[in-house]
A and B are shown apart, each in its own frame.
Chain A
Amino acid sequence: MLAKNKIKLNNIYALLVVVVLAMPLVANNYVLNTFSDVWFYVIVCLGLNIVVGYAGLLDLGYAAFFAVGAYTTAILTTTFGMNFWLTIPFAMLFAALSGVIIGGPTLRLRSDYLAIVTLGFGEIVRLTARNLDITGGSSGIYGIERPFFFGIEMNGNIHFYYAFLLLAFLAIFVSYRLQYSRLGRAWQYVREDEDAAEAMGINRVRVKLSAYVIGAVFGGVAGSFFAVKMTAISPETFMFTQSILILLGVVIGGMGKIPGVVCGAFILVLFPEIFRFVGDMRLLAFAVIMLIIMLKRPQGLWPSRLG
């Protein structure tokens, strides 16, 4: 029975892969842009999932990591004229550094204090970006050049669709490998029972810090690509609501479950697009659904048996 289920599941996954790969053949620009957003949120949600889902640390300032990546790329390409592809390692490095800065000292805190500290950190990053000259102040940075990929300028929605799709696949793959790695099991142990984990010889601080750093790197890379796709970034994009949105994606689908998080990212982007005609009410509907999910299925929509 279980094996049969597995085969069915694999068929469905294979079908899905074909669908998403072939989509640009039939879809128009708007649909491509929407789905690029979907893949983008898949990446950041999986990144946050490592922090919240795997390691059980509530982070309300995840947009900060995404901002660090986006600003790093934006500044390096515009002010220093660097090639986009060369900025990615820097974006990863700075995002990882900010992960260490926020993660290092705060990991002793209780989960609710941690939530507030990360929230404060997210706001500090945004306000700093708003106040500094190098980040372009409140207008942000605009006129970011589109990158070239083997001689092709990435200026169409189709290019970014495939770029984000590829990154999303990569994120899924990395998350999957991490989940079943030694580190992944250590995260789950720490999440379920920290003292027991420590007694078993797990270095609690190092394990949590690595969750922060890896999660931050996901956000940083996504931010880099976000900057060149948008060609303009401003502090408004990295508000508290952005962090909450990403957290919602993780929670709706099911924390710690990769297909669940992917599903969550889909709902996150497609729900508001389809219900655009409801106007302001769509956000209310979204919030109510969110509350119901938390109360009825605190483990998320995705059934745990398939996780």
Chain B
Amino acid sequence: MLRKCFLIMVSLALACVLTAGSSFAAGKVKVGIMIPTTGGTATDGKDMESAIKLAVDEINAAGGLLGKKIVTTTGDDACDPQQAVAAASKLISEGVVAVVGGYCSGATLPTLKLYGEANVPIVIAASNSTALVGANPGIGFMINSTGDAQADTAVTLFKSVGVKSIAIVHMGEAYSEDLASIAKQKWEAAGNKVVAYEVVNKGEQDFSSLVTTIKSKKPDAVFWTAYYAEGALLIKQLRQGGYRGTIAVGDGSNSPKLIEIAGKAAEGVYCFSNPIVDYLPAAKTFAADFKAKYKVAPGPYSTLSYDGMKLLADAVKRAGSFDADAIKKALKATDNYEGIAGPISFTDKLTLARSNFVTLQVKDQKWKLHQ
């Protein structure tokens, strides 16, 4: 029994070494993809991976990068900080020249230091918490607008529909709390009132007492900053409880599932969204190619992921080498790169230089662009 146990341990260890052995074949260059492929956010993660691979195929078909073919390797961060560190170490040890990905902000956060120490640039496609900006050692390039930009979009919308007081509800994790606190700050700075600032727990189903609290404070609008699943329940229960004001949700709730779960209650709900395929004229070919290759429609972060990969390739070409410092310099110097999700330039803090948020509204059980 002991020997068996020992043998199992040694073979496990060996298997580990072998599967991770880096293969640096000539004429190839390795790019890492860091996204969640397991856990509750795996659907969006796999969708991002597909989009990046589509971009890689196109680049390779057009002759590759500086004469070399791109191969990808995926690290699963599982939307969990601890697993993200393991994934980042795996990518770094496999000798990737750069990484594209980053979905959950909380998971992306601790990896920035690792990439910084290894000097591996990462194009962050989706994660957009402002905490990332402070933790960035000069290697992370965020091509999704941050919570700041989203909060501005929200303030503009609320003003345009004549809202005077709002209630903000978040879910107590990095992404939604970040957005909630920025929105509160900006809304109050604009001279308006936040009458309720509440938090719900992941996995809760009954928000009736929260609804009563919100109703009793009579806000003109309710702003939900977290994800679609709990958001749909909140919307449904707000309407059931007789709340008739405006409801708006953040980009984490941008999903057809929200409408499916909330049903009739979702009618008229506003959503601030990063540019998704349906509203981007430049992304028509991308959407068609994606559908042809994977037999499913591209998801919410696919265009940004695709742009991230293409942008990286563009920067490498401009740098003329695979040297990390040269790539970083070229990425930083990006001037209005024409992505399918819109033009990309970076600020001094390496965030997207413009706001890419649009406002959507549910009409006839579908997300429609709000003018």
Q: Could you list which residues of chain A lie within 8 angstroms of chain B, going by C-beta atoms?
A: 9, 12, 16, 19, 26-35, 37, 130-131, 137-140, 142-143, 155-157, 229-234, 236-237, 263, 266-267, 270-271, 273-274, 276, 279-280, 282-283, 301-303, 306
Besides the contacts A237-B81, A302-B5, what 8 more A-B pairs have beta carbons closer than 8 Å? A9-B2, A29-B93, A31-B20, A138-B177, A139-B131, A155-B117, A234-B109, A301-B5
- Chain B nearest CB, measured from A139 CB (Å): 4
Q: B134 at the A/B interface (Cβ < 8 Å)?
A: yes
16 intermolecular pairs with C-beta atoms under 8 Å apart: A9-B2, A28-B93, A30-B92, A31-B20, A33-B90, A130-B172, A138-B173, A139-B129, A139-B131, A140-B81, A156-B117, A230-B110, A236-B106, A266-B9, A271-B12, A282-B38
Q: B21 at the A/B interface (Cβ < 8 Å)?
A: yes
Q: B156 at the A/B interface (Cβ < 8 Å)?
A: no
Contacts of B6 in A (CB 8 A): 12, 16
Contacts of A234 in B (CB 8 A): 81, 106, 109, 174
**B172 and A280 form a contact (CB under 8 A):** no
A58 to B129, CA, bound (A): 38
**A30 and B37 form a contact (CB under 8 A):** no
**A274 and B17 form a contact (CB under 8 A):** no
Contacts of A236 in B (CB 8 A): 80-81, 106, 173
Q: A27-B17, A303-B1 are in contact. Are A231 and B110 (CB under 8 A)?
A: yes
**B81 and A274 form a contact (CB under 8 A):** no
A184 to B259, CA, bound (A): 59
Contacts of B129 in A (CB 8 A): 139
| Secondary structure dominating the interface of A | helix
Tell me the total A-B contact number using a CB cutoff of 8 A: 123
Total interface residues in chain B, CB < 8 Å: 44
A282 to B42, CA, bound (A): 14
**B131 and A142 form a contact (CB under 8 A):** yes
Contacts of B113 in A (CB 8 A): 143, 231-232
> What 0/1 pattern do residues 22 to 58 of B give for CB contact below 8 A with A?
1000000000000001110010000000000000000
A131 to B178, CA, bound (A): 13
Q: In the complex, which residue of chain A has the Cβ closest to the Cβ of B94?
A: A30
**A303 and B2 form a contact (CB under 8 A):** yes
- Chain A nearest CB, measured from B76 CB (Å): 7
- Chain B nearest CB, measured from A266 CB (Å): 6
Contacts of A306 in B (CB 8 A): 1-2
